Each structure stands twice: as C-alpha cells, then as structure tokens.
C-alpha cells in the first residue's frame, strides 16, 4: 500500500486581520504553500517555533479551518468532500494542555463513551467494553472511569486525552506538543505510551513539537516549518545529522548540548528575533537571521528542492555542508 494516508498539496491558509477603519486589513499567511504527505503507520515530526503555522496546519488537517488554496487529501479523498463524522473516525488530535482539554464536568466514562454513541454505537455493552479496553490501553484503571478530571494528575489527564483521541479508532493522530505541559519526570511515560500505541494500533502520527530531542526520538520523517513554509524535509537521521537549511541548523545549535553530540556547531545559531507572521521578510523568510544571507536570498524565495533522495531543503545554499 504505497498511497499516502494524508497528502497536502500546496496548502495555504490565509486569515484577514484588522479592520478597514483601524489601520487597514492585512492578510496573515499562517500556512503559505505546504506540500507534504504522511504514510500509514508513519510518524512525521513537525518542528517549528511561534508563528510558523504548525497549529493552523493541524486545524486545517482536522477540517476546522478552511484552506485558502490547495488540497488536503485524507485517505484517498479530498477533505472538503468528506462527511464530518467520517473524518472524525479517520483523524484525531491530542492536545497540549491536559488541564484545559478535558470537560471538567464530565466523568472519564462519559468523555470516552459519548463519541461512540454519536458515531452510532448504540449497544450499551459494546460501548462499555470499548471504554474499559481503551482505558486499560492508556494505563488507567477501571475505577478511574467515574472520576472527574480534577481528580487526576497532569500525566493521567493526558492519558485520558489520548484515550479520547483513540476511541474512534482513527488512522492518523495529530499530537500537538503532547508533553510540553507535563512535568519533566513523567514525559518519558507519555512518549513511551504514544509509541507503544502507534505500533499496537498501526497509527500514523504527526508529532508537533518544539523539543528536538523528542522529535528525533519518535519521528520517521521530519518537516521543519518557518513562518508558514516548510524549509526542510527528510528522514530523521538525515535531518539531524546532515541538516541543509540554516534554520534547521540554528534549531539544533540552540539546544544546550553538554555532551557535544550535535552535528552542528554553535556558530550556526540564529541571530535576532522571529519576525511577525503578518509581515514576513521578502524572498526567503529566514534571511534577516541567516548566517549565509546573500542578495539572492532577499530577492527570491528558494524552492523546496532535493538535496539527496527523500531530503529536500528550501535554501539557495542547500548544497553547502557547513
């Protein structure tokens, strides 16, 4: 089965912000021409900092935000032509904040059982069986079913969130910073859980994270976003050991590295601040902060082109091995 589960084709999501009276209407190009795909059972790591558009991309893939341009193809069909309920059974999401992502007035049982009922599972015994089964899979005990979110720790709440995302047996799960809001000592538990479930249930993931260590650990392929565009894309090992875009190198260089294991020297760090997504720099968006900046970078946005098999970078100097 070689067909991708998810295929994005030149996807753009633009928002109009501001008002005609108050300083004019501007276009926020949150996602500005993204082409990528995710194969069944694969984990795509999506890396980027604020303003890169990864959250908007996730919302677009979920069908919560309409694309301005381009296509989203989910499991063979265009997303816009699918039924809402059907899409819900195909792609789901795990949220970042375990404290805000659960309805405080619903028990665990109800949080997990309601979606089943909405999707037509009417047999009470079956609903109960699936709820108990999913709870066990994420490491919750049966007696937890009748408790409310505030009775659980952050890690447990995230487990509930994962159970909720998987109860409808989706094929693709978007994990939006699933461990950033958790205590450091329990992150490993959740990462291990996500990987186990991926193998056990044959899931594909889009793992959105700013933590490169996590991304390197879990991803099969990695895509790096900056101000709405994909700047580099490739297999995890290629990206981390042979990064070809200065921004990717800057991200890796920015990580504190007590053991000096990174493939990138400290000289690759980026300068300055991330520009506002409302007014990105012309040409290559990264040029104001790039150590390799040249005139062509201001004049022309570099296309995302191959550096090696399966490895693409959007940089005029992509062939430099610096």
Partner 1 sequence: MTLMTLKLAPKLRGGTSLWIGGGLVALAVFVAVAAPLIARTDPVMDANLMNAEIPPGWEFPFGTDAQGRDIYSRIVYGARISLTVGVGSQILNSLIGVSLGLTAGYWGGWWDDIVTGLTNLMLAIPSLIFALAIMAILGPGLTSLLAALGLTAWSYSCRIARAQVLSLKSQGYIQAARILGYGDLRIMFTQVLPNILGPLIVIATLGMGTAILSEAALSFLGLGIRPPFPSWGSMLSEARDQINTVPWLSIFPGVAIFLTVLGLNLLGDGLRDILDPQSTTRR
Partner 2 sequence: MSTDPLLEVDGLRIALTSGGTTYNAAEDVSFEIGRGEAFGLVGESGCGKSITALAVMGLLKRPLSLAGGRIVLDGEEIQKASPARMRELRGSRIGMIFQEPMTALNPLSPVGRQIAEMFVLHQKAGWSEAMDRAEEALRQVRVPSPARRIKDYPHQLSGGMRQRVMIAIALACSPELLIADEPTTALDVTVQAEIIDLMAELCAAKGTAILMISHDLGLVANMCRRVAVMYAGRIVEAQPAEAIFATPQHPYTQGLVNSLPRLGERSRRGQQKLREIAGVVPSIQAYPSGCRFNPRCPRATEVCLTTPPAITPLPAANSAEALVRCHHHG
Residues that bind partner 1 (CB under 8 A): 62, 64, 84-85, 87-89, 92-93, 95-97, 100-107, 110, 114-115, 118-119, 148, 150, 161, 164, 168
Minimum CB distance to partner 1, residue 145 (Å) = 14
Residue 151 binds partner 2, judged by CB under 8 A: no
Residue 240 binds partner 2, judged by CB under 8 A: yes
Residue 183 binds partner 2, judged by CB under 8 A: yes
Minimum CB distance to partner 2, residue 267 (Å) = 12
Residue 274 binds partner 2, judged by CB under 8 A: yes
Q: Which does 253 bind (CB under 5 to 8 A by kind): partner 1, partner 2, none?
A: partner 2
Of 14-22, 90-98, 149-157, 314-322, the window that binds partner 2 (rule: CB under 8 A) is 149-157
Residue 184 binds partner 2, judged by CB under 8 A: yes
Question: Judged by CB, which is closer to partner 2: 25, or 188?
Answer: 188
Residue 187 binds partner 2, judged by CB under 8 A: yes
Question: Judged by CB, which is closer to partner 1: 82, or 244?
Answer: 82
Residue 99 binds partner 2, judged by CB under 8 A: no
Residue 23 binds partner 2, judged by CB under 8 A: no
Q: Which does 270 bind (CB under 5 to 8 A by kind): partner 1, partner 2, none?
A: partner 2
Residue 216 binds partner 2, judged by CB under 8 A: yes
Which of 318, 312, 316 has the alpha carbon at shortest distance from 299?
316
Question: Judged by CB, which is closer to partner 1: 94, or 290?
Answer: 94
Minimum CB distance to partner 1, residue 19 (Å) = 13
What secondary structure, in 3-state letters, does the chain show?
CCCCCEEEEEEEEEEEECCCCCCCCEEEEEEEEEEEEECCCCEEEEECCCCCCHHHHHHHHHCCCCCCEEEEEECCEEHHHCCHHHHHCCEEEECCCCCCCCCCCCCHHHHHHHHHHHCCCCCHHHHHHHHHHHHHHCCCCHHHHHCCHHHCCHHHHHHHHHHHHHCCCCCEEEEECCCCCCCHHHHHHHHHHHHHHHHHHCCEEEEEECCHHHHHHHCCEEEEEECCEEEEEEEHHHHHHCCCCHHHHHHHHHCCCCCCCCCCCHHHCCCCCCCCCCCCCCCCCCHHHCCCCCHHHHHCCCCCEEEECCEEECCCCCCCCC
CB 99 within 8 A of CB 157: yes
Minimum CB distance to partner 1, residue 88 (Å) = 4
One residue of 185, 200, 295, 321 binding partner 2 per CB under 8 A: 185
Give the list of residues 6+ apart from residue 141 with CB closer than 8 angstroms, or none: 135
Positions that interact with partner 2 (CB under 8 A): 49-50, 153, 155-156, 183-189, 191-192, 195, 210, 212-214, 216-218, 236-237, 240-241, 250-259, 261-263, 269-274, 289
């Amino acid at each position: 089965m070689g067909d991708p589960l998810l295929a994005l084709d030149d996807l753009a999501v633009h928002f109009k912000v501001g008002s005609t009276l108050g300083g004019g209407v501007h276009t926020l190009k949150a996602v500005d021409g993204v082409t990528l795909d995710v194969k069944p059972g694969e984990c795509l790591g999506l890396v980027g900092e604020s303003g890169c558009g990864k959250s908007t991309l996730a919302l677009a893939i979920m069908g919560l935000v309409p694309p301005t341009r381009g296509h989203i193809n989910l499991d063979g069909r265009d997303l816009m032509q699918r039924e809402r309920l059907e899409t819900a059974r195909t792609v789901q999401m795990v949220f970042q904040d375990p404290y805000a992502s659960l309805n405080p007035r619903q028990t665990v049982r109800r949080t997990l059982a309601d979606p089943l009922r909405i999707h037509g599972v009417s047999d009470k015994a079956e609903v109960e069986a699936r709820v108990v089964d999913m709870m066990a899979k994420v490491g919750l005990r049966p007696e937890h079913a009748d408790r409310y979110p505030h009775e659980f720790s952050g890690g447990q709440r995230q487990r509930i969130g994962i159970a909720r995302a998987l109860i409808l047996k989706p094929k693709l799960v978007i994990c939006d910073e699933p461990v950033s809001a958790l205590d450091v000592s329990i992150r490993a538990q959740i990462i291990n859980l996500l990987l186990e479930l991926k193998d056990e249930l044959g899931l594909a993931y889009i793992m959105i994270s700013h933590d490169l260590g996590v991304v390197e650990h879990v991803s099969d392929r990695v895509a790096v976003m900056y101000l709405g565009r994909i700047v580099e894309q490739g297999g995890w090992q290629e990206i981390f050991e042979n990064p070809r875009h200065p921004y990717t190198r800057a991200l890796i260089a920015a990580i504190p590295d007590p053991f000096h294991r990174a493939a990138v020297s400290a000289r690759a760090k980026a300068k300055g601040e991330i520009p506002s997504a409302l007014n990105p720099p012309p040409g290559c968006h990264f040029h104001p902060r790039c150590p390799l900046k040249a005139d062509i970078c201001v004049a022309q946005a570099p296309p995302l082109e191959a550096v090696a098999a399966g490895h693409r970078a959007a940089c005029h100097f992509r062939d430099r091995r610096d």
